[in-house]
Amino acid sequence: MIKKIFERYFLGKNQPDQEKIWDFRSSLGSMFYPKSIALIGASNDEKKLGAIVLKNIIQSGFVGEIFPLNLKSPSILGLTAYKQYQDLPVVPDLALIAIPAKFVSVAVDEIAKKGTKNIVIFSAGFKEIGNEGLALENELKDLIKKYKINVLGPNCLGFVNNLAPVNVTFGQPVKNKGNLRFLSQSGAIASSIFDWADSNGIGFGEFVTLGNKTDLNENDILNYFAKNDISQLTKENGSSDVVPIGMYLESIVDGQEFIRIAKTISQKNPIFVLKPGKSTESKQAMQSHTGAIAGEDYVFDVALEKAGVLRCEGIEDFFDLSRTFAWEKVPKGKNIAIISNAGGPAVISSDYVSEAGLNLVRFDEETRRELEIHLPRAASILNPVDVLGDALAERYESAIKTLIVDEDVHSLLIILTPQIMTQIEETAGVIGKLSLEYGKPIFCSFMGGSLISKGEKILNKFKIPSFRYPQRAIRVVAQMCKWKEYQDLQKSMVDLINDSESTSESEMALPNIESSSKLLSTVLAQGRKNFDSFEANQLLNFFGINTPQTKKCESLQTAKDFVSENNFPVVLKISSSELLHKSDSGGVIVDIESDERLNQAYESLNKIIKTFENTSSYSIQIQKQVNKGIELIIGSKKDPTFGNVLMFGAGGLLANLIEDRNLGLVPLDRYEIEKMVQGSKVYQLIKGYRGDEGYKIDKIIDLIFKVQNIVDAHDQIVELDINPVILNREGIWSVDGKIVLG
């Protein structure tokens, strides 16, 4: 089973449906590399959208045919204009629509009948304005499905392909060619990136805006990126050796497909994403502990980690990663050396290095001796290296040359503060030349304002990432190393999976799918969404999960008979599909160790049941009490975007008192589950705390596998919650389960 999961989700096997979908998108190449373009809504009025788009196409250097369409003008910007799409002398590869929303569907119908397969719709006024616009968008969807065409938008800025070249936008993007690819759901974000890139001398290959995503979405564009390697077209002196992809997304259409294609890309090229929505935890939580703990934004973070995608903290972070991945090579490891002409920033940077998970490399004797030769006696030859405030470009050069050849140094951070004698431009030039000569990753922080701006321009010319504050530089180095670690893990994943095959007990016992399916059908047939606790126990048992001995009590005598067979202590609890949180209403009584206590508990629960409406749906359940141990929680929640999410952490009362949220997206292999358990707060107790003998985590891993099997087998389950799971010397026990159906 583990190997099948690995092949399906990590090696991309068993994806026939996706291949069929991509056949439908095979004409996207002619969208982004068109030989002919038609523009409906072209205009001679330079203030109108149709004029701006047409002017951008011409000025981008597009060498293909351009066909403006306008009902009144015979020529536009010196080009022959046409009144009807069917009058065009050829079938254009790409059609652009820049007319009011209410006329768009008619235009799309004419375009599709002519045979054009690719359309960009700039027009706004669709679902973003309410029901009237939504009706127009649904009409557009019907046409897309009818004609099997590719539509970008509506309500989008268009796209730029500097490799074609062609600029199909109404923005002002840069013409500089580079190795960056961008994907944005926001036209405004795209415009800000255009301006920032232009002012910093940063080029890109392709930039696609999505708009409303009525048809083409992020997965379609990522698939196109994956199938069209541009690395040979964007190689430039000083650029990195990867093709980074930056994305601004407000939503994801198909989370599982996003993970699949992003995982494929990120094994070769880095992906980083800016996505708002961290406040989604304020939305109403679902009914179980797992539902409350596994907030949507946390799920998004887990999905990105699974796919090897980096998440940006904000727009500044997005810009930083864009520049860094485009220009600088990824460090081979986490060891960083700092050179500074000021002690304060160097010391502060040391804290940042530690917080970011990087290592301040300790220089060997040979490196220290070399630094002593070239630096003044007052200089610090430890890391950070302080070249002192009077350092000229030559002293910086000596220090950099010494450290850049040290194999233990994986990257360098050069800090410069503008002092009276500081040679800012000369130092920047030295850094640039050494970067080209040695090829080791160098990052700079020229701190200040107007004084250091000329130095920054020189660094930009050499494609050296520079930041006004060291913390920003250190963060991007840490992000690059995180992506490198992901790459290394993917390369070794096959061996990890093969090594774990023989150790998983969950492979030994096949679940009873037939019986569990009948149980689900019975619950649904009764019009219920929730299992009672006795039914939850049954379902867990069908998948080989240990639960304490239990029985429904038709009477007090049934409870006494149970005790005679299983002995004290026992637990009495109310079982009902209408009561998911029994403890909140006093519906669980533990530590029953005598007949007298059993009588009292049974009477007490009966009184509580009588306070509920529809008392016939409530019953009393008796359960053998499990010996004390570590209380855990294991659960699953179905996320609307990414599917089933498993959760592990501290259980019992601690589930409410401490935040021990450790999530994983199904499917999880044994290695991923092990890392999830080891990353929990409760793991300190599991491995042994203050002299206590610890536990092997194999039983926990196998139990999580079995929970994964349940939700994978039954798509109707939207939440599953086992709390507590008790881990003791006798084994691992699922004491109380909650199951919610969709």
Taking only the tens place, the pLDDT of each residue in 106-125 is 999 999 999 999 999 999 99
Taking the CA of residue 734 as centre, how many other CA atoms within 13 Å lie in the half-sphere pointing to its CB? 28
Model pTM? 0.89
Query: Residue 727 and residue 694: Cα distance in Å, rounded?
Result: 11
Query: Residue 247 and residue 715: Cα distance in Å, rounded?
Result: 31
Which one is the CATH code of 157-327: 3.40.50.261, 3.90.850.10, 3.10.150.10, 3.40.50.2300?
Answer: 3.40.50.261
- DSSP codes of every residue in 476-525: HHHHHHHHHHHHHHHHHHHHHHHHHGGG-GGGTS---HHHHHHHHHHHHH
Does the pLDDT of residue 19 top 60, yes or no?
Answer: no
Does the pLDDT of residue 289 top 90, yes or no?
Answer: no
Does the pLDDT of residue 742 top 60, yes or no?
Answer: yes
Does the pLDDT of residue 607 top 80, yes or no?
Answer: yes
Q: For 299-319, what is the mean pLDDT?
A: 95
Quick count: other Cβ atoms within 10 Å of Cβ 622? 27
Between β-strands 150-152 and 118-121, what pairing exists: parallel, antiparallel or unpaired? parallel
Residues whose CB falls within 8 Å of the CB of residue 364, separated by 6 or more in sequence, listed in order:
406, 408
pLDDT confidence bin for 17, thresholds 50/70/90: very low
Does the pLDDT of residue 293 top 80, yes or no?
Answer: no
Q: Which of 142, 167, 166, 165 is nearest to 157 (CA)?
A: 167
Residue-level pLDDT at 494: 56
Q: What share of the chain is helix, strand, coil (3-state, %, to 5)?
A: 45, 20, 35
Domain map of the chain by residue range? 25-155, 157-327, 332-484
SS (H, E, C) 657-712: HCCCCEEEECCCCHHHHHHHHHCCCCHHHHCCCCCCCCCCCHHHHHHHHHHHHHHH
pLDDT confidence bin for 692, thresholds 50/70/90: confident
Does the pLDDT of residue 198 top 50, yes or no?
Answer: yes
Give the rounded percent of residues in the chain with a pLDDT score beyond 70: 92
pLDDT confidence bin for 508, thresholds 50/70/90: very low
Residue-level pLDDT at 509: 63
What are the backbone angles phi and psi of residue 687, rounded to the nearest 5°? -80, -5
pLDDT confidence bin for 26, thresholds 50/70/90: low
Q: What is the mean pLDDT of the chain?
A: 91
Q: Judge whether 108 and 140 are in contact, CB under 8 Å.
A: yes
Paired with 414 in beta bridges are 339, 444
Residue-level pLDDT at 653: 80
Tokens read off for 582 = 């029994």
Computed over its alpha carbons, how large is the radius of gyration of the chain? Answer: 32
Tokens read off for 418 = 């503008």
Tokens read off for 381 = 């030859």
Residues 332-484, CATH architecture: 3-Layer(aba) Sandwich (3.40)
Tokens read off for 501 = 């095959």
pLDDT confidence bin for 365, thresholds 50/70/90: very high
Instruction: Indicate if 332-484 has the same CATH topology as 25-155.
Output: yes
In the block, tokens 């951070």 appear at 413
- DSSP codes of every residue in 325-351: HHHSPPPSSSEEEEEES-HHHHHHHHH
Residue-level pLDDT at 287: 39
Does the pLDDT of residue 10 top 90, yes or no?
Answer: no
Between β-strands 271-274 and 310-311, what pairing exists: parallel, antiparallel or unpaired? parallel
Give the rounded percent of residues in the chain with a pLDDT score beyond 90: 82
Q: From residue 391, how far is each of 379, 380, 396 by CA, in Å?
A: 10, 13, 7
Topology of the domain comprising 25-155: Rossmann fold (3.40.50)
Specify which of 1-5, 370-374, 582-586 reaches the highest per-range mean pLDDT. Answer: 370-374
SS (H, E, C) 344-407: HHHHHHHHHHHHCCCEECCCCHHHHHHHHHHCCCCCECCCCEECCCCCCHHHHHHHHHHHHCCC
Taking only the tens place, the pLDDT of each residue in 568-577 is 999 999 999 9
Q: From residue 52, how far is each of 57, 174, 407 by CA, in Å?
A: 9, 15, 53
